[in-house]
A and B are shown apart, each in its own frame.
Chain A
Amino acid sequence: MLAFTKKTNSAALAFLGGGAFWFAIGATYGLFSAIDLVAPDFFQNIAVFVFGRVRPTHVNTVIYGFITSMLIGCAMYMVPALLKTRLWSERLGWVSFVLWNASVLSGPIGFPMGYTQGREYAEYLWAFDVTLMLALLALIVNIVMTIAHRRENSLYVSVWYFVGTAIWISAVYPLGNVMWHPSTGAMPGLLDSIYLWFYGHNLVGLLLTPLAVGAAYFVVPRITKTPLFSHTLSLVGFWALVVLYTHIGGHHLLQAPIPNWLKTISVVDSLMMFIPVGAVLANIWLTARGKTSLLWKDPAGRLVLFGTLFYLVTCIQGPVQSLPSVQRLTHFNNWVIGHAHIAVLGFSGFVALGAMWHVLPDVCGKKIWSQRLVSLQFGLVMIGIVGFFVVLTVAGLIQGGSWYNGETVYRSLPLITPYMVMRALLGLFIIASAWVGLVNFIMTLRHGQPHISTPIEEAPS
């Protein structure tokens, strides 16, 4: 029974497919949220479409369903491939897949009905925090056992990042969701915000970022057929990430009454983030130096290349908006939503998509059905994300400036109407790209030409 769950790489394929599916669903929920902010009575009195309920559905589905799933799928293929072995247990991989998706599914089913813990990014109910944790623990066992059975002695940098992610996030998640308070999932009082933003920040910093960086470290040397530029830079990037990222969550609370020393640390170390970011990008780009045309020609490589570019944009913007003087204008408004999209979709989403298309043939043994559709997906999502970033940043500055000048929130609402309309329209490009991708994925499985997988030749440093 369930013989398909024993097939090599089947669990990885399931995670990749889940990611492609949730991308389409999650982006569609983004559109519902965007419509609510253009025409609040469009879905008047339809409870399941009310902004406060579709927004968390959107956010959790894209983060846990789309990007994390897709990158876990990549990791489940990359780790064994880099270690010249097989995943220790495909079945256990499937257990992770089922549990993980139970949590993700609880979003679109539960949140629109009002079943949520309501803390941003930590909305899943306790039972689904548990399934998510079990999925993570099963993944950890699987990876550790795979490493134990490896036939390649040295660990490539991607493996560091995937292992790191797994062990860090399995601590970040229960802490941030305050899982020892099952009914509220929260600490009492102001302290809760410190837990929440420790978590919210590390969700992007110790989950999305290391997964995406690990995947980029795999894809870029492979497409450019060049060994990684520098082992030292890999080490610096990796250790500086966990040293610094972990304690800068306070920069989400700079204007709230949390202790000043915590704010100071978070601002200083937000600026220090140039070390891990610079090290990673220098390493990847110097690896690709002179060979970027190879990346550009391969649509998967193109997605990863632009993902790394958006990583730079995000991480220039990030430290700048950590400065208290800048936050006076940018906090509480659409500027941050712009940052969130260029970061989560532009960086980790692009890398996830690129890495997914890159490994898919090896994972399923079929060639990509249509490379042109991958290019089309790239083009559509590019228009969407660049447009989002511009439109939301402008809207944010308008809001921030008018509040700073003493206008009320209510008075500034008509000022952002045009930008809310443009955001909704640009969102259509992103949604279209998601559906194009999903179709291409399904067609690859059903009608792709056979593909003989290429083993990883030498393990670079």
Chain B
Amino acid sequence: MKMTPALLVIGGLMVFWASVTVAVFLPHATLNDQPSDIWKPMSEPDVAAGHKLYVRNGCSYCHSQYVRVLDWDVGSERIAEKGDYYGYEPAILGTERTGPDLSQEGGEHPDDWQLAHFVNPRITRPVSLMPAWEFLGPTEIRQLNAYVQFLGGKDADVRVARQQRWKPPAIAAWLAGPAKNVEWLHAQVPKVWQAMPNPYPATEPDLLRGQKIYQQECINCHGPVGDGQTVAANYMQPPPLNFTILRGHLVEGKYIGGIFYYQIMNGITGTAMPYFKRDLESEKIWDVSNYLAVRFLGYTDATIEPRGIPASYEPEWKNTFVAPTTQEAK
């Protein structure tokens, strides 16, 4: 076959357009996308403005917007469907996950967490790689927040409503003073979790593991000495809890492990305290609970009664901590 200019140009174009027909025009004609069950229009001006900011600032180079069958992270309760993106222009799916998927971010956190996080992600997430967006100024940060709270459509609405449902009582409790606040917080924890000791011995290695987790996940909110006096406190209502006052609020004068576990696993919806059930599995939560207790309360209920048969790996460890008397703790 001799390549002539005519063959080159005409042949090249014919093959090319045939391929384009298959790869682009055919999907275009047959995609037939309809709004999915959770879809919402981007009608609020702040949301639309936030979407533009998301595009302009290149959030999509670090965040994807579709959850896959094999995902465990933020949003993994819903696998993406084609109708989730109906009419959004552009709907940038993204190719990198330097940060988590955001397609279901709405309602994951309350607004105060998001605002602090946008000003500088290290305020709430000590080892984050996300840039600080403080330079955008308060208006644009508010719009970005409106957009991320919108992500997830009607599913996000449910979560946002839940955050809003619990925000006022949490603030009211906090305004009532530290003691009342803790009472309120603990009253929200199911009874069975309250009178539950930490089942893990608070050995030296256990506490070191807990410390590592504390430094990666908690330190920028609750502070190096656990008193909650941090930059984060300026952004949050209620501010991060001061753990040291918990000495005076042990359940039945001796239990705290179960409360710690429950609060860390589940988070405290309505407050900036996130849930950690995706970041930390069971043992890690118990480890960090022991760390909080020993380090900031000077007392842990590790392995006290009630307890079952000790686990096979457990070393001989005796809990020598003495529960503070109510008198002494106050």
Contact = CB atoms under 8 A, between A and B. Distances in A.
Q: Most chain-A CB neighbours within 10 Å: which of B24, B73, B92?
A: B24
Interface in A248-265: 248-250, 252-253, 255-259, 262, 265
Contact of A164 (B12, B20, B59, B122): B12
A460 interface: no
Contacts of A189: 33, 82, 85-89, 91
A46 interface: yes
B23 interface: yes
Contacts of B27: 191, 194, 258-259, 262
B312 interface: no
Interface stretch (B94-102, B193-201, B222-230): B94-102
Contacts of B71: 403
Interface stretch (B62-70, B150-158, B240-248, B313-321): B62-70
Interface string B4-37: 1100110111011101101110011011010000
Residue among A118, A191, A235, A253 having the largest count of chain B Cβ atoms under 10 Å? A118
Interface string A189-233: 111111100100000000000000000000000000000000000
Nearest to A201: B23
Interface string B98-135: 11100000000000000000001110010111111111
A413 B24 CA distance: 37
Contacts of A163: 5, 8-9, 12
B325 interface: no
A154 B5 CA distance: 9
Interface stretch (B50-58, B167-175, B181-189): B50-58
Interface string A399-442: 10001101111110110000000000000000000000000000
A171 interface: yes
A337 B95 CA distance: 10
Contact of A191 (B33, B73, B92): B33
Contact of B12 (A168, A186, A247): A168
B80 interface: yes
Nearest to A243: B15
A57 to B, nearest CB: 10
Interface in A236-276: 239, 242-243, 246-250, 252-253, 255-259, 262, 265
B1 A118 contact: no
Given A147-B5, A242-B12, A198 B61 contact: no
A408 B278 contact: yes
A255 B12 CA distance: 31
B171 to A, nearest CB: 27
Nearest to A265: B22
A243 B96 CA distance: 29
A239 B19 CA distance: 12
Given A186-B89, A410-B279, A46 B135 contact: yes
Interface string A177-196: 00001001111111111110
Contact of B58 (A52, A235, A406): A52
A72 interface: no
Nearest to B14: A242
A328 interface: yes
A167 B13 contact: yes
B56 A118 contact: yes
A454 interface: no
Contacts of B86: 188-190
A114 interface: yes
A323 to B, nearest CB: 15
B3 interface: yes
Contacts of B82: 189-190, 257-258
A255 B68 contact: yes
Interface stretch (A34-42, A305-313, A350-358, A365-373): A34-42
Residue from the set A175, A184, A255 with the largest chain B CB neighbour count within 10 Å: A255
A91 interface: no
A155 B5 CA distance: 8
A403 B120 CA distance: 25
Interface of A: 36-37, 40-41, 44-47, 50-53, 55-56, 114-120, 147, 154-155, 157, 160, 163-164, 167-168, 171, 175, 181, 184-195, 198, 235, 239, 242-243, 246-250, 252-253, 255-259, 262, 265, 328, 332-333, 336-337, 399, 403-404, 406-411, 413-414
16 contacts: A40-B131, A41-B122, A46-B135, A52-B60, A114-B56, A118-B58, A171-B16, A188-B89, A190-B84, A192-B91, A249-B23, A256-B93, A257-B81, A332-B96, A337-B96, A408-B74
